[in-house]
Amino acid sequence: MFKRFAVGLAAGLSIAIVPAQADSAYPTAPIRLIVGQSAGSSVDAVARIMSERMSQSLGQAIVVENRPGANGVTATAYVAKARPDGYTLLFSGCSPMVFNPGLYKKLPYDPVKDFTYIAAVSENPFVMVASKASGLKSFADLTKEAKANPGKFTFASAGIGNSTQLATELVAQRANFKLLHIPFSGSGPALVAVIGGQVDLMSSVVGPALPELKAGAATPLLIIGGDPIPELPGVPGAKQIGLDLPSLPTWTAVVGPAGLDPAVAKRLEQAVQEALQDPKVQKQFKTQYLSAMNVPGPQMAARVATEIKLWKTLLHDFGIKPE
């Protein structure tokens, strides 16, 4: 009888040990990192910087997979429904999580309940840029002309409800003028349209726009959500010209489906931390004007819940109604 008990106990212990062994072995296969924007977008660029370094820490390839569409809804909903095993992750910007709840009457995911927030990665300021064809030389020019001719100027964005739209809407509202919105499929195509003169304006993250601005292909008008930067001398920040703007979320984060094993989430968070401490990554961030965040997952989840409430109110104030 004792022998049968011992055998049964050993079998039970072996079953109990298996999950722990699986956790310690993670990952044993390549990881898919889903991005809700097109290749070449600002979020995609950060995802590729991080995936390269994180793969070194994890000992497995991290494959970036672009699934653009519906302001990140397509990619975000896909990851929400994925198996929570750590092999399908989302590299998210703030738009799908913070802005979409105020833009859509019904979302196929809950930004707080349906995800495991692993770690925030980066933040970056926006710069409002104008096409050469617009004839605008400064933000003062824009304010004067836009007030005198409401709707005369067009502005591009990476899509309806994207932070590139809301940054511009926020500035226009606080400066008391009207612009005409033209959405694109991503921030890359939107910036190309401004440089080509098809659209007058855009609010872009600084990194992708800076080479074009330095080359004189477009004109910088205003730094949004940050202080003036040395590379763009004479371009004011919003505070310098008296624009009182609420904090605009510009973060990126690594996110998994709800129910992700805490040990797996911790391993991924460590890989994010190691990447952000790497001198090569820090140099790439500096070049792109990115600020490392490295906020732990639980704190990031709480921040998202707070930002959702704030931006639902602001979107209503902008006159942007849920679809």
pLDDT reported for residue 254: 98
pLDDT reported for residue 186: 82
Spell out the domains of the chain, with CATH numbers in brackets: 30-124+250-318 (3.40.190.150), 126-241 (3.40.190.10)
pTM of the model: 0.79
| The three-state (H, E, C) secondary structure of the chain, written as one string | CHHHHHHHHHHHHHHHHHHHHHHHHCCCCCEEEEECCCCCCHHHHHHHHHHHHHHHHHCCCEEEEECCCHHHHHHHHHHHCCCCCCCEEEEEEHHHHHHHHHHCCCCCCCCCCCEEEEEEEEECCEEEEEEHHHCCCCHHHHHHHHHHCCCCCEEEECCCCCHHHHHHHHHHHHHCCCCEEEECCCHHHHHHHHHCCCCCEEEEEHHHHHHHHHCCCEEEEEEECCCCCCCCCCCCECHHHCCCCCCCCCCEEEEEECCCCHHHHHHHHHHHHHHHCCHHHHHHHHHCCCEECCCEHHHHHHHHHHHHHHHHHHHHHHCCCCC
pLDDT band per the 50, 70, 90 thresholds, residue 143: very high
pLDDT band per the 50, 70, 90 thresholds, residue 17: very low
